[in-house]
Amino acid sequence: MAQKILLKNINVPGINTFEVYRQYGGYAAVEKALKTMSADDVVEEVKKSGLRGRGGAGFPTGMKWSFLAKPEGVPRYLVCNADESEPGTFKDRYLMTHTPHTLIEGMIVSSFALGANTSYIYVRGEMMPQIRILEKAIAEAKNAGFLGKNILGTGYDLEIYVQPGGGAYICGEETALLESLEGKRGNPRIKPPFPAIAGLYGCPTVVNNVESIAAVSWIVNNGGDEYAKIGIGRSTGTKLISASGNINKPGVYEIELGLSVEEFIYSDEYCGGIANGKRLKAVVAGGSSVPILPANLILKLSNGQPRLMSYESLAEGGFATGTMLGSGGFIVMDEDACIVRNTWNFSRFYHHESCGQCSPCREGTGWMEKVLHRIEYGHGKMSDIDLLVDVSKKIEGNTICPLGDAAAWPVASAIRHFRDEFEWHVNNPQAAMDGNYGLANYADPIPVVEEAN
């Protein structure tokens, strides 16, 4: 059984209440950090742990914290990014719903490490139940003396506020989030300056994902070195994976980084294989923004070695044959899934969610969506396929925020790996409307793992 850190007590009845959470050792990290450690000690442990941002970019958390500017007399802020809107990703919601105190405890310890006396949790606007759950948890913690003035008599003050989001995917981008938190339109800022220098209200700010913050308590309790022993290479610790698609057991899993993709999909401890006796066709491994990979490339590296669930292994092969761990939104497609339709669907999402500030993303996302729609509905032309590649290239890298790249990659990778399916749609419009291209030959050689086991 793999080690569980965040979801260890998830099945304990009442773990969502302060009382039970405390009985199971909760808030020990707050006591330890505030009473026995300095803020810099905590930062040091997080650095040692090798924890990397779980919001998508995978930037080392300890390093991000050490970049925080500390001018005299200027407040600093910690902002928790709970805007979770990436298609295929639903782990933060799960954690906040079932064990909200894991996040609150992490928030207190992290705020202490950063010297923040006011911290915010920016929650996706649609998650009203989770907002109430968090507010209740904050009230409970405050009641028990873990929040407010002079926490545990240590002289450290902290207030945590929950802010409902603006209801837009783009508000998950950290600078758009800060704008929105300030009460403005959620447009990403032009960087530099980075939030570590000028973030919320122009003050030094750290923005971290729910899962990154939640992991800090365990690191404080057990030490950064212990955390670094879990996982593989520079992918340390555990990661929550939101598994969806046609698998036997969809849900949120906590894995030790370094697990093989094959085991994750097929073992009974995790996804339990493809449902209904179907075969695996493709996987989007890290949320809708990362490149899609066909079955053969997601299970194995180009050198034949198994591909692992880690930042490095998933990225192995670059854009040609690799993808990214991203936010851990693991979308599994079986032989009945239509790649063209899926690509159009993703594209529709990015078109809808572009903030519209910069020309390539504002205009390009809509253009790609329309061309993909036309192909999917049997009016495509052969030249559309290269047009899509060209448009995606002209968006990629030329925009203010990474949403442009996130819109371009799914399209570019789908065409890179599934070009014949796109061509089939163009050449067989009626058949494409009635049926499905299936596995055909590009996904070969697909090991039929169900039988092999």
Ligand X SMILES: Cc1cc2nc3c(=O)[nH]c(=O)nc-3n(C[C@H](O)[C@H](O)[C@H](O)COP(=O)(O)O)c2cc1C
Binding stretches for ligand SF4 (CB under 6 A):
170, 188, 354-358, 361-362, 399-401, 403-404
What is the footprint of ligand X within residues 395-414 (CB under 6 A)? Answer: 401-403, 406
Q: Tell me the DSSP string of 135-183.
A: HHHHHHHHHTTSSBSSGGGSS--BEEEEEE--S-GGGGSHHHHHHHHTT
Encode 147-186: b = buried (16+ Cβ within 10 Å), e = exposed.
Answer: beeebeeeebebebebbebbebbbbbbbbbbbbbbeeeeb
- According to the binding rule CB under 6 A, does residue 125 interact with ligand X? no
Residue 363 binds which one of ligand X, ligand SF4, another protein, none, with CB within 5 to 8 A depending on kind?
A: another protein
Find the residue with minimal CB distance to ligand SF4: 361
Residue 398 binds which one of another protein, ligand X, ligand SF4, none, with CB within 5 to 8 A depending on kind?
A: another protein
Give the shortest CB-136-to-ligand SF4 separation in angstroms.
Answer: 34
The single residue among 142, 239, 351, 425 that binds another protein, judged by CB under 8 A, is 351
- According to the binding rule CB under 6 A, does residue 54 interact with ligand X? yes
**Axis-axis angle for helices 210-222, 28-36 (nearest 10):** 70
The single residue among 23, 41, 59, 320 that binds ligand X, judged by CB under 6 A, is 59
Give the shortest CB-390-to-ligand SF4 separation in angstroms.
Answer: 18
Which segment (13-21, 77-85, 413-421, 432-440) binds ligand X by CB under 6 A? 77-85
Q: Which amino acid is at 380?
A: G
The single residue among 119, 209, 354, 413 that binds ligand X, judged by CB under 6 A, is 209
- According to the binding rule CB under 6 A, does residue 354 interact with ligand X? no
Cβ pair 79, 111 in contact under 8 A: no
Residues ≥6 apart with Cβ < 8 Å to 326? 56, 86, 285, 286, 287, 289, 290
Residues ≥6 apart with Cβ < 8 Å to 237? 5, 49, 50, 51, 215, 227, 228, 230, 231, 256, 257
- Distance CA(126)–CA(82), nearest Å, equals 11
Give the shortest CB-366-to-another protein separation in angstroms.
Answer: 5
Strand order in the sheet with 205-209: 159-164, 118-123, 77-82, 205-209
What is the footprint of another protein within residues 362-381 (CB under 8 A)? Answer: 362-367, 370
- According to the binding rule CB under 8 A, does residue 399 interact with another protein? yes
445 preceded by cis ω (within 30°)?
yes
Give the shortest CB-332-to-ligand SF4 separation in angstroms.
Answer: 28
Which segment (3-11, 221-229, 281-289, 353-361) binds another protein by CB under 8 A? 353-361
* Residues within the interface to ligand X (CB under 6 A): 53-57, 59, 61, 81, 83-86, 169-170, 172-174, 207-209, 212, 401-403, 406
